[in-house]
Each structure stands twice: as C-alpha cells, then as structure tokens.
Chain A
C-alpha cells in the first residue's frame, strides 16, 4: 500500500478511536450521575464511586444509615439486563434470625446470594404473589408475614420488588429501577440504559417501604431463640 492509501486509513482509524473514547467517557459520566436526582432524599448524602460500576449513595433516612447501590445485572443467558436498586437500611432489628424472600427466582440472582445457611423453605400465604422463594433461619421462626406484606404492598403491586431480606443487623430491599434498551441488547449485546437517571420517586417509594418494614418489626414482640 502506498502512503496515499495509508493516510486516509490511519485518519479513519484515529477518528474511530477518538469517537470510541468519547463514547466510553460519556457513558462513564452518565453512570456517575445515575443517582443525582436522589441525593436530596437523604440526610448527609455522600456518593462513593469505584470508577468501574455504578456509584453508591450513602446517607441517613428516618434516623437510620442507608446505602443505595444500583447494579446492572447482565449475567443471565438471553435475558434482557435489569438495573436493580439495592437499598440497605443499617439499623438493628428485633428479629431472631434471617428472612429472605426472593420474587420471581431464576437461580441466577448472584446479588441476592450471600452464602448464608439455607434454613427452612416455606410457601408464603396466598395474598403474596405466587412466584417466589422464601427461606427463614432459624427454622422455627414465624415472621409477621401479613404485616410485612402490607408494608411492601406498593412494591408488590407494581411488581418492582425482587428481594426482601431481614437480619438482626438491618434490612435490604432489592427493587427494579429499569433496564437496558432491548433491541440494542438482543442484537448487539450492548448495554444502553433506558433512562440515564433513577427517578427520586422510585427511591422514595423504596425508602418508605423500608421504614414501614422496620416499623412493623419494631412494634412486634421480639422473638427469642430457645
């Protein structure tokens, strides 16, 4: 190839590389801003950015330490990725162990699996959505399921709730905050978010539900292990 032929090829490659860099930087900036609309909801908010994933928002809400972590789950085979919001309320709860309710389980929920003992599996009452996996540990504990359902009812109604986890150290709600553009993912496996920012109303709903759950447990007589 002559120098005349190389020049446009190099220029085109340079242009593509520059465009790629711009795109990558733009998307990184978009990820960093994902929780910008939500920071005002928390007291003493602080954003922690690892640089590779979505940033984590920490602050106080209802007198408790709160942590909000968006997580893009794209490990399912032929499953359009979902953006989950992991809301952790760090406040001691008067519960004797752990209750883990996973809605619509598919056995690939890596974010909902912390390697804890399995405990006892049981079916939730009929007023809960039927497609679930519920476990409790210690096995004899009977959690206040009716009150808990009422506390998370709005999240069950719009079917955004993925996980409800209760432990003596606090509680976690996992809710669906959105997804990626379907056609882009299915054809090209590109992860293009449907909406760049998580709406404050979505987090507000999850925070309110978390406080209601804490309220339910606080008003329930503590159960002691024998």
Chain B
C-alpha cells in the first residue's frame, strides 16, 4: 500500500509529502517498457523511408541519447515536485501559467494524435486482413470511428477500465514479437532473413540519417513516464537511472530485433511506408499461425495504447480546465462515473478528425512534434529550476549529474530533430508552430484574466532566489 510519509526539507521549515518508497529498478524498467510497447508495432519504420535501414538504426541510437537527457532532467524535477502531473505541473511551478498552458496543450495534442494513429493502425490492419481473404476495398474509416468511440465510452464509464484483459493484451504483444524473432532468426539453421540482398548503402547519405531522427523518436516516445516513479523508489539516485536506462536498453534491443526482422524480410522502400511492418513481415514468412499471432499482437497493442492515450489526454485537458487555462466547463466530473467526461467527449471528434485524414505519418509527426516541444522547454526549465532553487534549498529525491551538460545536449538534439522534421515535413512543422503561437496569443489575451493566480503554485517551497 502506498501510504504517505513525511520528508523534511533542508531547513526543516518546509515539508513535502512523499509516497512510500517501495519500488526498485525492476519496477521502473517494467513501467518504461510497458508504456512504449506499441511503438515496436508501427511508426518507427517511417525513419527507414528517410535514411534507409541503416539510417533508421543510427537514428534509434542517437535519439536514445536525447531521451537519456530527458530522463535525467525529468527524474530530478519529478522527484522534487511532489504533486503528480508530470511536465504540466512542473511547468506550472517552475515557469508560470503560459508555459503550463503550452505544455498542457502539447500533452493533449501528443496523446490525441497518438490515439488517432493507433485507431488508424486498427483500421488499416483490418483492411489488410480483409484484402487477404478476398474482400478488397474495405473502408477502414468505420473501424477507426468504432475503435475511438468504444474506447471513449469505456473511459466515460470509468469502472470498465479495470478489466484484467489488459494484462493479457500486453503479455500477448511482447510474446508476439519474441515468437516472430525466433521463427525467422538464423538460430540452428539458415533462417529466412535476406539481409545480404536487402540491406543497401545509405540511400540519401547522411542528410537522410539526419532526417530519420524525427521518426527515431517513436522508439521511445513516452518513456519519460518512468520518471513519475521517482518519488516512490527506494533509492531514486540508483533506481531511476538504472531502471530508465535499463528500460531504454530493452527498447533499444527490442527495436533492434524489430529492425533486424523487418529489414531482413522487407525491402527498405516498402518498409519505409508500411503501416504495420511487423504484421507484413509475418505475412512474408508464410506461416498462418504466425500471421494470426502478429495480427492479434498489433491489434491489442494499438487498442491498449489508444485506451491509455484517451485517459491521459482527457485528464490533462481536465487539469487545464480546473486551472482555468481552458474554460472551467471542462473541469467537471461526471456525477455518477466520476470521470472527466466533458474532456473525454470533447477530444473524441478531434481524434476522429485526424484519423480520418488517413495519413499515418503526418499524424505521427504531429504527435512527435508536440512531444518534442515539451522536451525542448525542459532544457530551459531545468536551468531556471536550478537557478531559482539551488541544490540544498529544497529536498530533491534525485539530483541529475553533470548539470548543465544534459540540458545543452538535449537542446542541441531537439534542434537537430526540428531540422530533420523541416526536411521532410516542413509544412507540418510550420503549421503546428503557428498553431501553438496562435494558441499562446489567445491564452494571453483571452484566457489569462480568468486564471486564479493564487491557485497555481501549490508547493510549500521557500521563495525562489531573486524573488
């Protein structure tokens, strides 16, 4: 049971609430892997279209460094800001309402887009299966709407989310990847992979590798969620880096396995634009049972991820309503089901609208960019955080080492990824930037007067240096 315990701050005058410290590195590791699992089934392969198979692998490793910095910084801030809520709460406390509004919006958009991407995958997967069994021309849109509407209804009802079926979903998805790997890998025989024939030089040179950075983020998007455990680990200084890095290494290995299977079975030109690369790889193996396994694995992973996305996006939107960053109407809770039902219902048509475009790579780009904007501002946030509350002035569960190196590396890699996005999706990049700038202007001129400024800062910290 996670009961509360007290932790006294440096001067003894300030106290913060910390949850019982019961988690070890293994828990943190499991958390990270569970969150990002769906990324193995779809999305990562768009990096192959940019930089070829090798370019994709390099992007996977370089972006691993970006996420290492994110994890280090996020671990420190999350283990210090006792109020849960991730980057949104951090921005509210460290920078102020405008930053919190933007970060809240990034989170909502990133999750809503990911939800749309998951629904698109479900629709495309069912269409592909229908095609295979002689029902060509099946429209995926009804399945997209059904998936989003059904999951929104589950979230609206609240209590039904407690289905133990979700355990089966994740376990099944992990098993599917492992089985596929062992079926095609050259273990005890020649195997089915044709890397010698399919792997090529970098098709667009090193600029292609740079462009692949954008989709390289898909390998890890969301792993910073592990840092939310910072407060509850037995030794944050040990468990968070160990668990998060262990999780990243696992994903790196899983991603490399996925890359290894897919690039050994599919030519890079096809792999780079496939919607469901692992399922397509299983089809090429020619064993129906493997195909069914990957079909169910992909379907389960996408549905489970979409369910989590609706939950997160609606709660971030709800928090913004409660803080008056959005109309307070969204801050309502259903009288019977105790869920933020207005936020859930409001975001549902937005997810459907994006899914209806049918452009999975564009939708994923929007999701990635929203996440990337959040990471970029983390490098500024941590600098300000360290300056305003220096080490020793408040209790930190974990202090990340080598400051300010991680924030500088993070900023440089984020900038490189923006450039990468500009190369392939310049219009998307400019439109989403314009959207956030317009939203910020709207917030400053139209919403800020409604914000209850006294309610914003809820932490019992001493006044920041220079206040």
Contact = CB atoms under 8 A, between A and B. Distances in A.
Which of B16, B83, B88, B454 has the most chain A CB atoms inside 10 A of its CB?
B83
Interface stretch (B3-11, B177-185, B396-404): B3-11
Interface stretch (B199-207, B267-275, B312-320, B376-384): B312-320
Given A27-B159, A121-B454, A107 B323 contact: yes
B107 A77 contact: yes
Interface string A153-191: 000001110000000000000001011001110111111
A22 B322 CA distance: 37
B86 interface: yes
A126 B272 CA distance: 62
B21 interface: no
Given A78-B84, A108-B322, A129-B15, A71 B315 contact: no
A104 interface: yes
A190 B161 CA distance: 6
B86 A77 contact: yes
Nearest to B168: A16
Contact of A195 (B1, B15, B307, B339): B1
Would you call the interface of chain A mostly helix, strand, loop, or mixed? loop
A187 B158 contact: no
Given A75-B333, A104-B17, A131-B16, A188 B167 contact: yes
B96 interface: no
Nearest to B296: A12
Contacts of A160: 3-4
A38 interface: no
Nearest to B19: A80
Interface in B394-448: none
A159 B17 CA distance: 8
B431 to A, nearest CB: 26
A26 to B, nearest CB: 9
B57 to A, nearest CB: 27
Contacts of B16: 131
A3 interface: no
A215 interface: no
Interface residues of A, number: 51
**Range, interface on chain B:** 35 or more
A218 B338 CA distance: 35
Contacts of B307: 188-189
A178 to B, nearest CB: 6
Contact of A194 (B1, B232, B304, B322): B1
Interface in A22-74: 23-24, 27-28, 31, 50, 52-53, 71-74
Contacts of A189: 161, 166, 307-308, 311-312
A111 to B, nearest CB: 8
A1 B35 CA distance: 34
Contacts of A27: 159, 162
21 contacts: A23-B163, A31-B159, A50-B336, A52-B157, A52-B337, A77-B318, A104-B458, A106-B84, A107-B322, A130-B14, A159-B4, A160-B3, A182-B23, A188-B34, A188-B166, A189-B308, A190-B161, A190-B167, A191-B159, A192-B162, A195-B1
Interface of B: 1-6, 13-17, 19, 23, 27, 30-31, 34-35, 82-86, 88-89, 107, 133, 157-167, 169-170, 225, 228-229, 232, 304, 307-308, 311-312, 315-316, 318-319, 322-323, 331-333, 336-340, 454-456, 458-460
